[in-house]
């Protein structure tokens, strides 16, 4: 492991030429805005990490350079002019080689910007730290979302079933179901029996009616025959009288034997006395419609059975909803267990990444010693020390960290320096000079 021994820049952005000999010590660099504090401390490490600024060469110049020497003897040299740039790595033995991405990652891994991190929202801080730890939770997050949505859906189904179940203020009573089909068949038998009796009664009345009508018809025929006989005799009498009148008018009365004709007329049989219809007895008809009490009774039984079965339907409905609720409750519980298992899997994966002692990652943010990483719960120095500890996770072979201490006072810096000293860490701290001064620096031990 090494620290920064010396930094030198020439014609880089706002700096014409500046050299700072650190000898591995922590330092506070001050100066007005746009004077080049960040350029001095961090431009070369940023370039090694692959970041290339839009403007490199100081205005009015054509070439420049930046050089960083480590306490272990290695050097990084960045030269640039109007034609291009070159990044060189020099080993401790003086061997020069192009600074490859692999070399850069070994000494200066991907930057953990402490100040940007501290200004992120809690959930953003969580995602950034997980990325910093190199943990791939893509599959877990996809499974978690699916499991979370499934739990939400099943909780909704359970709650809906619970509301339906609670709609039964009284639990329906289970009773023996009546087979209405059997009653309907019995009703058909009764109806058939009553119909048969009706037809029998009707046939009986029709026979009486037919016999009566026949008797009346015979009386009418007999009376008509007697009337016809009477009419024939009257007609004969009238005919003899008419002949007599004609004979008398024509003086031939003596020529006709009216006595013989009258004797023949007298010998004709007289009509019989007509028969009175009132003498025919009226039939005693019976009621054709049979007693339907038995049919009414079976209809009552059917209606009662329908009511009873309807109540049993409510019971069956209650049991169906109860079974559905119990199933939904079980599925909701299983879905909740699944979500918690995935949450545990995620926690275990994060825990295996060996976070600094006292840290915990949750979906709600990062906690340090049980308190959220925010100004509301911990002091500014504690917050910065926490961020430094996290940045320390991804530190490369160079045990050096750069951050802006604009918001930190002397006391806060003292606490941070004490922590850095315990962990053999070099701090490159920049602070603004609100009086507009040029870049100056002081070693931490000179400040305390």
Q: What is the DSSP string of 401-415?
A: EEEE-TT--HHHHHH
Q: Supply angle C-alpha 439, 442, 445, rounded to 5.
A: 165
| Residues 37, 23: Cα–Cα separation, whole Å | 18
Q: What is the pTM of this model?
A: 0.57
| Residues 38, 403: Cα–Cα separation, whole Å | 9
pLDDT of residue 448: 42
Pull the structure tokens for residue 268.
């004709």
pLDDT of residue 104: 94
* pLDDT tens series, the chain, 448 aa: 899 999 999 999 989 999 999 999 999 999 888 888 989 999 999 999 998 888 889 989 999 999 999 999 999 999 999 889 999 999 999 999 999 999 999 999 887 788 888 888 888 888 888 888 888 888 998 999 999 999 999 999 999 999 999 998 888 777 787 888 999 999 999 999 999 999 999 999 999 999 999 999 999 999 999 999 999 999 999 998 898 898 888 888 888 888 888 888 888 888 989 999 889 999 999 999 999 999 999 999 889 888 877 777 788 888 899 999 999 999 999 999 999 999 899 888 887 877 888 888 887 888 888 888 876 778 877 888 888 888 888 888 999 988 888 877 778 788 888 888 888 999 999 888 877 778 888 887 654 4
Output DSSP code: residue 192.
Answer: H
How buried is 284 (Cβ within 10 angstroms: 0-12 exposed, 13-18 middle, 19+ buried)? exposed
To which H or E segment does residue 88 belong?
strand 84-90
Output DSSP code: residue 271.
Answer: P
Output DSSP code: residue 437.
Answer: P
In 353-406, which residue ranges form alpha helices assigned H by DSSP?
A: 380-391
380 in helix, strand or coil?
helix
Output DSSP code: residue 321.
Answer: H
The phi and psi torsions of 60 (rounded to 5 degrees) equal: 95, -5
| Residues 272, 250: Cα–Cα separation, whole Å | 38
Which is nearest to 442 in space by CA: 39, 113, 21, 13?
21
pLDDT of residue 446: 53
């Amino acid at each position: 492991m090494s620290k920064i021994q010396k930094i030198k820049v020439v014609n880089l952005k706002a700096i014409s030429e500046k050299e700072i000999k650190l000898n591995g010590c922590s330092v506070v660099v001050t100066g007005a805005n746009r004077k080049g504090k960040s350029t001095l401390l961090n431009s070369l490490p940023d370039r090694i990490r692959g970041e290339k600024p839009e403007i490199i060469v100081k205005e009015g110049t054509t070439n420049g350079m930046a050089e960083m020497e480590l306490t272990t003897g290695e050097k990084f040299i960045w030269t640039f002019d109007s034609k291009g740039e070159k990044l060189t790595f020099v080993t401790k033995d003086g061997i020069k080689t192009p600074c490859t991405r692999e070399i850069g990652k070994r000494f200066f891994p991907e930057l953990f910007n402490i100040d940007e991190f501290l200004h992120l929202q809690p959930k953003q801080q969580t995602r950034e730290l997980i990325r910093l730890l190199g943990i791939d939770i893509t599959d877990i997050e996809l499974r978690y979302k699916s499991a979370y949505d499934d739990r939400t859906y099943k909780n909704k189904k359970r709650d809906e079933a619970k509301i339906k179940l609670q709609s039964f203020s009284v639990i329906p009573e289970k009773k023996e179901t009546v087979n209405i089909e059997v009653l309907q068949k019995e009703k058909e038998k009764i109806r058939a029996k009553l119909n048969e009796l009706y037809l029998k009664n009707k046939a009986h009345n029709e026979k009486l009616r037919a016999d009566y009508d026949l008797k009346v018809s015979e009386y009418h025929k007999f009376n008509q025959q007697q009337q016809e006989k009477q009419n024939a005799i009257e007609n004969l009498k009238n005919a003899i009288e008419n002949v007599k009148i004609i004979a008398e008018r024509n003086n031939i009365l003596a020529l006709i034997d009216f006595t013989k004709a009258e004797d023949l007329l007298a010998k004709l049989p007289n009509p019989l006395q007509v028969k009175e219809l009132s003498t025919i007895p009226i039939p005693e008809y019976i009621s054709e419609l049979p007693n339907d009490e038995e049919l009414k009774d079976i209809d009552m039984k059917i209606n009662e059975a329908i009511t009873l079965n309807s109540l049993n339907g409510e019971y069956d409905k209650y049991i169906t909803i109860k079974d559905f609720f119990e199933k939904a409750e079980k599925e909701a519980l299983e879905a909740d267990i699944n979500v918690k298992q995935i949450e545990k899997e995620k926690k275990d994966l994060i825990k295996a990444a060996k976070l600094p002692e006292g840290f915990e990652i949750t979906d709600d943010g990062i906690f340090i010693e049980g308190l959220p990483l925010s100004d509301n719960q911990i002091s500014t120095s504690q917050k910065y020390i926490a961020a430094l500890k996290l940045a320390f996770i991804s530190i490369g072979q160079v045990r050096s960290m750069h951050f802006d201490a604009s918001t930190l006072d002397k006391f806060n810096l003292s606490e941070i320096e004490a922590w850095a000293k315990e962990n053999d860490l070099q701090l490159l701290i920049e602070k603004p000079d609100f009086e507009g001064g040029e870049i100056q620096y002081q070693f931490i031990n000179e400040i305390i």
